[in-house]
Structure 1
Amino acid sequence: MAGTEDEDLAPTEGLQTRAGDLGADAAGAAQAPGARLGRYRIETLLGRGGMGEVYRAGQLEPVRRTVAIKLLHARRLDARHLAYFEIERQLLAQMKHPAIAQVYDAGATPEGFPYFVMEFIEGSPLTSFCEQRGLPLRERLALFIRVCEGVQHAHQKGVIHRDLKPGNILVAEVDGRPLPKIIDFGIATAASRSLAAGERAGELERAGTPDYMSPEQAGMEGVEVDTRSDVYSLGVLLYELLAGRRPGVGDDTPAAAHTASTTVRPPSAQIETLAPGNAAARAGQLGLSQPRLRQVLRSELDWVVLKAMRRDRAERYSSAAELAQELQRFLDDQPLQAVPPSRRYALGKYLRRNRLAVAAAGAVSLAVLVGLGLSLYGLQQAREQRALAEQRSADLERVAAFQQSMLEDIDVEAMGLGIANGLRDQVGKADPDALAPLEQALAAASPADLARSLVGLEILESARETIARDFSDQPSLAAQLRRSVARVQLALGLHEQAETLFAEVAGYFAQTQGPAARETLEARNLQTEAMFWVRGSGQTLEAVEATLALAQSLPPGDPVRVETERQQARAVFAQGDRPRGLAMQQALLARERQMRAEDDPVLLDLAEDLGLSMGRMGEADEAREIFEDLFARRRQALGPEDPATLTTMGRLAVMRAIAEDVEAAVTLQRELAAVSERKFGAEHPRTLVERGNLANMLLSHRDFDEAEALMREVLEARQRLYGADSPGALRTKLNLAALLARRSRFDEALVMEADLLQARRRVLGPEHPDTVFVEVNHAATLHRANRPKPVVQAQIDRAKSLALDVLGKKHPQTEAIDRIQAYSDLRAGRWSEAVEQFKALREKGQAERKPGDPPKAQIGWGLATALERSGQPEEAARIRASDVDWLYERPEQALTADDRNALEIIAEEAGHLGKQR
């Protein structure tokens, strides 16, 4: 749901609060960024495991390169153990194989903790790579064979891995070919050998991951671990590549396979336990029909997996090489050793290997029987007809692919510039004197908006009708083309049309591939992304959770499943359950960090969601750090005007504004609004978001005239395009009301706030956080407008009750209503009540004040005034000297926006009391 209307954070709603510790991965790391380990400088913590921590580091000499360092925490090593460790280091460094991450170096920290320096690999875990790329069965097996070859190479060097799992086998594409790299090879072996004489040697022998661990490695067989333990782990990995889940997942008792008291369920049986439609979807992911997959597994690959995972290691494959050879025999249609021998099986393999020769012999025999001439004639006719049909189908697919690429490459910015330049050329040739008025008209118009309208009404609508008319007999191609049209509609902000078309696409895929098929779920995600703009978060959340129930069949880490979970967290947050939404985003990001490289686009999107929510919850400093980092990464990787870069740029500007770096925020936001208008058009939804944000920042910068004009333009466009009760229109109305109040135009502000309150109570409900914000703002405006005391007090009581119930005692809005109450008591002459209120506010401010920050002068002034009026002049003078005088002594050019706001508040309140300072 990128680019939703919730992005423009108004200063009236983007208020600071604490949402709890984020629980960053780096907390408690043994080595801080910048620390030195010999020739290496630590850069960042990559992850933790039972054996220690893994860091990304830079090698400083004799060459400069990025490396991974695994620091073991098992035990400090004495001199003898360090000697063992040095021997193991030499052993590991001898491994040279394309499928093994090279070990460069090893050593120990000054405290005696051992570490390994390894090749830094940027890739995805083995299972995630296969699922994300949709690798068919044969390509998966070919990739797995290369993994087995790497394991065999290590075994020949005398090294056992002991922890083979997807996270320790990273796959990256090199020159279009997947290349696996096994990491952490021999770490457990090295540690156990170096500590063999220590009291924890037995414990380290069992180091590994339970779900992939052999029975003997788990200590269940009473024998020492040898290379066949790695063969067992390879069997579990192969099981997961075939069935999409590990052995036992989905059973009533989710125990690891090696603890099972009975034979492990074969992959074919595991797939049959999937929900209806999911088994067919799994077959499609492997590039086979469901009957063909069932036949391949039951007749051959089930036997291979079960042999590799025998509880008795003597019955397993004797080596990783033997397992690789077995799989290569499968790919070559040779009989497998694991399959019980039979004539039928051997004959079937022979026929598949020699199918062309057998088919030719059969054709000859048939021709002899029924008449050679007639048979050959009929065969030739059939071949010609089939070839013609296949050629027509291929031509149609090429045309459809061309049309699809043309649709998705539409650039409204370039089209708008082309229209403008074409008008200039024509007018220049026909009437050069009319060029100046034309330039004025073009400056006031938006060529991108014109192009966007033409694309939507002429090209996309025409394409939709053409697809329905000309591709009715090609439903698969029609669905693909509809999806392309809908993607363009979504990018152009034509959300209602996009939602309708994505629903049609999802319906087709649900009928043909199943409701839980990957393409169906992907279309549902795009449908709900468009739906958010049209229907708001309520209906969107319901639709997302229905999709998520089906997406559970996809493996964790699958991009489609992650996107569905991401949409759920954002919708929960937008619905008003912000702590739960934030917690969901934190958990999702933490989980995906365990499976992805730090620059993975999915990971960056999740970090951006979290940063936005943290900003809304008041964690401005932490959110700004996230967006500063994301903006630099995306600008470098994608370019300065990529849509993802622009989205991050806008959120960074908002966080700078919340953090009170208003000058930097306005500068960045002006650039973004101009780029967005040029690229997408002045009335594109994301341009309206950026212009709304710019107006809010101008308000904070006290550029009131420009801010008001811009807010009114954005409000008019949002009401016209999306309706008066749309979330964006209501948010802009709130910001405009706040601006009018800042300019003391209270009659206009109060009317607007009253209308806004009715709309938010009707649309969101009276206890939604956004509704509560307006309740608090309305109380402030009534007080500032000096409305009758009973009216003001009634609104204060209502707003405070809601703030406490919905937002909590520590929320800034709750503090704001306490501040309004204190000033109201002061104006009403309730001196003792005002003293108590201001004292509590002052104590809270002192507790939260950072070193070097001045006291809150407006609170100090209120307390001093209340003390003075209640007959305590000495105490009032002391408070005034410590909390207020600094503000009046500060030079004019040194005053910040907050300082000027404080001076305005003091002047306004003093004016009502008839005395200033």
Structure 2
Amino acid sequence: MTVMARALAMFDDFVDLPTTERQQALAALRDQDPALHRELARLLVYADTSSGILDRGFVATPPQTPDALRARATQAGDCIGGFTLRSLLGRGGMGEVWLAERSHDGFRQRVALKLLHIGLTHPDLKRRFQQECRILAQLSHPRIAAFIDGGISADGRPWYAMAFVEGEPLNDYVARVQPDVRARVRLLLEASEALSHAQAQLIVHRDLKPSNILVDATGHAHLLDFGIAKLLDAEDPDEHETATGLRALSPAYAAPEQVFGQRIGTATDVYALGLVLFELLSGQLPHQRRGARLEVLADLVRSEQFPAPSALLRKQPGQLTATINGAIDHDLDIIALKATQSEPERRYPNAQSFTEDLQRWLDGRPIRAQADTATYRLRKFVGRHRLAVGSAMVTVLGLIVGLALALWQADAARQARAHAEASKQQAEQALTVTTEAEARTQRVKQFMMDTFIMNDPMQAPGDRPASLADAFDQAMVRIDSLTDDPKLQVDLWDDFGEIRAGQGRFADAAVLFDKSLAQARRIYPANHPVIAEGLVNRGVVESYAGNSRAAAPYIEEAVAILDVPGAKQDQDLSNALQALAGVREAEGRRADSLAIMGRVVALTKRMQPVNELDLGVALFNYATALHNASRIDEAEPIANEAITVTRRAMGDQAPNLILMLSLKALIDYRRGRLDDAVRTNEEKLAIARKNFPAAHPWTADALVDVGFDRVEAGDTTRGIADLDAAIAMYDELGSPLVLHPLRMRALATLWEFGPKAARPFLDRGAAICTEQAITHLQCDIIRANRAGVMAMLGDGEAALVEADLALAGLAERGASEQAEQAQGLEGRARALTALGRHAEAVATQQQALTVISKWYPEGHPERKRVQKNLERIKQAREAK
């Protein structure tokens, strides 16, 4: 990067600094890099008197000295394009804004005239200035200053005139007038409506902040300054900015995607609107970005977690608190928090939807953000006890849905009572069971309500928990004290265990399942369905931890309890059978797994009415079994049907889709549809992040796939960052599933930096497999890859031992003639090459090519890679 490009990239950081801090920073830069200091100081000539009205950051090399430029400075009374300049309104790094007048036939027109600085001839500046004119000319809204005229001045400077809005910046107006909350929301609503109009014209503002929202004398808001706006339908609109290293943003109001240099869209403006709403409601921004340098800003943004505006206000005693305290309700908090989510897909999609929710709040109607959240959470828990087949609770906020679950169970109990009363046969027994269930349901409901009361400042004692996470921990302690109702303890330990498992905290979940199962065995008959449910959950936790051998006895016992003639627990049996299919798959008994899943699909379709959520999961697991049995033609339509059914049942953001899209991407990749696989993995990651904002195995797994896609596409830096994030996430969870990202990180490192840098990742994976006695296919593949790296480092004998162990493990787990076996064969071929046994190496690599050719079509990158390695080994043999 040239000195000028570096200076351009640093301009945004320096221009917003107070004068004293800027001088200190420049002095430090002068000592570090005199040439960079000289160029940057020249660029800052015009920024000293910036008013905040202008956009910043688009500057260029002034070809003349500051003294020469000042000698030709524009003055009041100058005439430009028929307009007479009256007074300077503001000056920034790019140009000046003047109050100007034009008289014609007795009519006087006042405008704000924007004029590019003298001497700023950089092509990017002129292009940006012309784009700004085009953008303004497209807009026609009463709350947006209208474009009037434009052209080139006599001294060659571009200019344009827009309607003059006489008013004061939004924050200044609010500080002076002290309006109530509703009035503040109405002001932002007017600005948001104006932005909605711009976005409807495919225009993104990109620099929303209070200084760009003026309030006129009548108390109406106007949206200004589209200086760094983006045309969404422009072809490669950011090409020049990328090439020169320019970054257009106001740090205090920039969305994360702006800070990280990612794609900009309508949700970017929504983020800024949300921050302005925070400021209007609480008198402050919810972060500490002001004055931060760009390199520090990224770290700040990455770690930001915003409190609700009402909580922020309570920490700021003063006049503002006295003015609006208590007027910020839960819905308004939700609007602000939704608008400022770090991921664009979790925000309001555009200004229009944000505007609609503000209006609904003003009208006293339910906001959509709140309604969507409640519906989503209820829908999540109606499908309880599907831990075995892929459904999971989201976070500790699952406690909220635990209450919904209790209500749902009560409704189910009432329906069972009605059915029992209608049937004389076995009515007395059914009523007894139902009455007991209803009583226990009421206790579950009361337990959940007591948990929430602990977080209610109006009802809780003085030592109430600080958060729902703390309330969760206290609730589990309270379960231990419910000795008068052991059945309730069984239910609660089991439910809380599912929440922990849904968070990816499998070790914690196992402890709770053990307590629930032990209690159930004490109070229920040995063949009771409650025991079976606990056995399935306990077994699945072992499976998720990569230990299928430990999982098998739990699940086999559960199936033995449920799979008996005349039993009516079809759903429980389906869950247990699907867990058993997963164990059989991990054991390498793929034919058994496939037969079990075929039975599950038939069983699920037989249930009336058919539950589409259950059907989607069953179809997915069946398609997975078919795929693993190399029956791809049969697997693909069933996998697609699973996705369709699940979208219909739970929507496009359903967490179950994460696993289903993994299978779809795998099938696409295997068939050579590489671009489709990449898109599917990106969709999967977006859904995972939406459902699991904290560390979670499914998010980590999605990061692995997206990261490796990026590595294969040549975007190594971002890809490795994704893989490292996945490793860190699994480490936070204490999960042995870290094996997968460790292996992929090793491969990415091998391609980019060589075998010496790659080996530590494989060594760590092998150590985890040994120390934790993990019986999982991933351990065998790590061994195979490790053998190859050891051979490349010259340790042929150890590599051959490692490769043979890998192939033995793969055979034991039924992976012969599978794609995984090819990796074991390649590791062995490398070891033989290192030992000088070239003829054997060629034969082994040829065997690997034969295996891989059964899995991937002609021309596929995997076949090409194995073929290329075969040619290298042949060349080594010939060279000998």
Query: TM-score range with shorter-chain normalisation?
Result: 0.3 to 0.5
If the length of structure 1 is used for normalisation, what is the TM-score? 0.43
Higher relative contact order (CA 8 A, sep 6+): 1
If the length of structure 2 is used for normalisation, what is the TM-score? 0.45
